[in-house]
Amino acid sequence: MAPTDPENVATVVSPGSEVLGPGHTYGSVTDKISSIVLTRGTGKKYRAGLALAIVLLLVLNYAITILMAVGVGVFGINIPVGWGFAIVNFVWWIGIGHAGTLISAFLLLMRQKWRTSINRFAEAMTLFAVACAGMFPLLHMGRPWLGYWLFPYPDTMGVWPQFRSPLVWDVFAVSTYATTSLLFWYVGLLPDLATLRDRATKKVKQIIYGVLALGWRGSARHWKRYETAGLLLAGLATPLVVSVHTVVSFDFTAAIVPGWHSTIFPPYFVAGAIYSGFAMVIALAIPLREYYGLEDFVTIRHLDNMGKIMLATGLIVAYSYIMETFMAFYSGNPYDRFMIMNRMTGPYAVLYWVLIAVNLVIPQLLWLSRIRRNPLWLWFLSFSVQAGMWLERFMIVVTSLHRDYIPSSWGMYYPTRWDWMVFIGSIGLFFTLFYLFIRFLPMISIFEMRELVHKTAEESAP
């Protein structure tokens, strides 16, 4: 039957809202996002960025090779400071990952519309952050070739991992988190992979996206099960996020050194993780919306909301610092008291006060709506927070270890060039993966944006 009416009859046009620019249709959101993958190609700035990321990735490869060949002594660790950059970086990367899951899962359960345009790349950020984090437990081992002993397999010696140890809990928590993030992300991608399959013009792309899309055709039955699965995954991922960073904090709390053996750590770490995670999402969102022209999708309202969450979690972290200090004195425990005085006035005092400035004081600017709604300011603040959270992990790990109970055991920790190379190199790994992601996959969830167009039009219909 020949078409009897023009193409755009009854096409829904969104009047716009705080979280979506006006004038969009299902077609326009699809075109905008899928064209970045299918037709835009790469420009000079993208290639320069990817090249830099790959250079850092090569630095990582080199450093890991030397580490494996020579041994863990190339790091600055010693007795008493048996844990240095490797653990700091592990906790930092895992913490960064948590915001992505929070945006994908928790904000879905809370039915927050503003999650729609940011959840795809935030979840990708989580996946890559967990990949970076996951290297460090292996890298920090004295005998990494025995790393498989951490997994419960039936072995010839009849020996099992120490299930009562937080380090083994970590293995399960991080493995579960990595698997869940990957599956949640992939399930979310399925309808969009189908969109790319149907819009791709080159045969190779059609086949690759077609295979990955698993034959998705948008059937109502499939959507029903899909939405149910999405809510279930969100409901499972939310407590998972809380549990993973809690288990990571247990790496410290289960030990007895002053400054570690504290019950405040689980909520403190989870809040801190969300703090640094949102900082990373902001650090990524602002250049992306600028470079790819996504201001209609990632609006000022999104930046405002993310800034508010950063402020809220930053205040929880500030409260934790204050309580740690207060309890150290209030407890009357001379070792706890010394630990706090050592942080403030000892050999690492400069780092401590920089930490307070960068993590506590400067982010208070987020109270001002002018700052939260200004992309450039917000971007700089996000770096301040990320640096602050890294310094915080450094403070926690190193200051408690380098001077604990008996002065004759005291020492110092100085990072070596290999510590720095693995750290900076891991940032290279993260960005290489992220650059590849934005090139080959839709960085915003296309079908959810269509839903948003539909809902916005429905709500403002007379």
Partner 1 sequence: MHGSETMKRQPLYGLLAEFHSAEELLEATKHTYGAGYRRLDAFSPFPIEGLADAIGFPRTRLPVLVFLGGLFGCCGGFFLQYWPNVIGYPVNIGGKPYDSWPAFIPITFEMTILCAVLTTTFGMLALNGLPSPYHPTFNVPRFAQASKDRFFLLIMAEDTKFDSEQTRQFLTELNPREVSEVES
Burial class of 335 by CB neighbour count within 10 A (0 to 12, 13 to 18, 19+): middle
Six-digit token string for 83 = 């844990």
What's the min distance (Å) between Cβ of 224 and partner 1?
A: 4
Q: Does 256 bind partner 1 (CB under 8 A)?
A: no
Interface residue with partner 1 among 45, 47, 417, 454 (CB under 8 A) is 454
Residue type, 443: M
Q: Does 38 bind partner 1 (CB under 8 A)?
A: no
Q: Does 5 bind partner 1 (CB under 8 A)?
A: yes
Nearer to partner 1, 253 or 325 (CB): 253
The beta-carbon contacts of 395-398 under 8 Å, at least 24 apart in sequence, are 395/343, 395/348, 395/351, 395/352, 395/355, 396/252, 396/259, 396/260, 397/83, 397/84, 397/87, 397/88, 397/91, 397/252, 398/81, 398/84, 398/88, 398/348
Six-digit token string for 14 = 């969104």
Interface residue with partner 1 among 42, 112, 179, 460 (CB under 8 A) is 179
- Taking the C-alpha atoms of residue 163 and residue 409, their distance in angstroms, rounded to an integer, is 30
Reduced to 3 states (helix: H, G, I; strand: E, B; else coil), residue 20 is strand
Query: Quick one: which segment of 92-100, 134-142, 221-229, 410-418 binds partner 1 (CB under 8 A)?
Result: 221-229
What's the min distance (Å) between Cβ of 429 and partner 1?
A: 25
Q: What does each C-alpha distance from 135 to 30, 105, 175, 348, 420 come to in angstroms?
A: 36, 25, 12, 27, 15
- Taking the C-alpha atoms of residue 293 and residue 297, their distance in angstroms, rounded to an integer, is 9
Q: Does 409 bind partner 1 (CB under 8 A)?
A: no
Q: 357, 48 in Cβ contact below 8 A?
A: no
Q: Does 206 bind partner 1 (CB under 8 A)?
A: no
Q: 108, 451 in Cβ contact below 8 A?
A: no
Residue 17 φ then ψ, to 5°: -150, -170
Reduced to 3 states (helix: H, G, I; strand: E, B; else coil), residue 347 is coil
Q: Does 226 bind partner 1 (CB under 8 A)?
A: yes
Nearer to partner 1, 247 or 306 (CB): 247
Secondary structure (DSSP) of 388-440: HHHHHHHIIIIIHHHS-S-GGG-------HHHHHHHHHHHHHHHHHHHHHHHH
Nearer to partner 1, 15 or 43 (CB): 15
Residue type, 234: A
Question: What residues from 106 to 125 belong to the interface with partner 1 (CB under 8 A)?
Answer: none
What's the min distance (Å) between Cβ of 366 and partner 1?
A: 33
Q: Does 33 bind partner 1 (CB under 8 A)?
A: no
Interface residue with partner 1 among 44, 111, 143, 164 (CB under 8 A) is 164
Total site size for partner 1, rule CB under 8 A: 70
Q: Does 183 bind partner 1 (CB under 8 A)?
A: yes
Residue listed under structure tokens 């010839």:
156
Interface residue with partner 1 among 113, 205, 222, 337 (CB under 8 A) is 222
Q: Does 236 bind partner 1 (CB under 8 A)?
A: yes
Query: Quick one: which segment of 1-9, 319-327, 358-366, 416-424 binds partner 1 (CB under 8 A)?
Result: 1-9
Interface residue with partner 1 among 17, 101, 126, 195 (CB under 8 A) is 195
Interface residue with partner 1 among 148, 223, 329, 414 (CB under 8 A) is 223
- Taking the C-alpha atoms of residue 161 and residue 150, their distance in angstroms, rounded to an integer, is 6
Q: What does each C-alpha distance from 266 to 171, 238, 277 come to in angstroms?
A: 17, 15, 16
What's the min distance (Å) between Cβ of 105 and partner 1?
A: 11
Question: What residues from 410 to 449 belong to the interface with partner 1 (CB under 8 A)?
Answer: 447-448
Nearer to partner 1, 76 or 100 (CB): 100
Interface residue with partner 1 among 36, 72, 194, 280 (CB under 8 A) is 194
Strand-pairing partners, residue 146, are: none
Q: Does 168 bind partner 1 (CB under 8 A)?
A: yes
Q: Does 80 bind partner 1 (CB under 8 A)?
A: no
Q: Does 239 bind partner 1 (CB under 8 A)?
A: yes
Residues that bind partner 1 (CB under 8 A): 1-5, 9-12, 25-27, 30, 152, 158-160, 163-164, 166, 168-169, 172-173, 175-176, 179-180, 183-184, 186-187, 190-191, 194-195, 197-199, 211, 214-229, 232-233, 236-237, 239-240, 243, 247, 250, 447-448, 450-451, 454
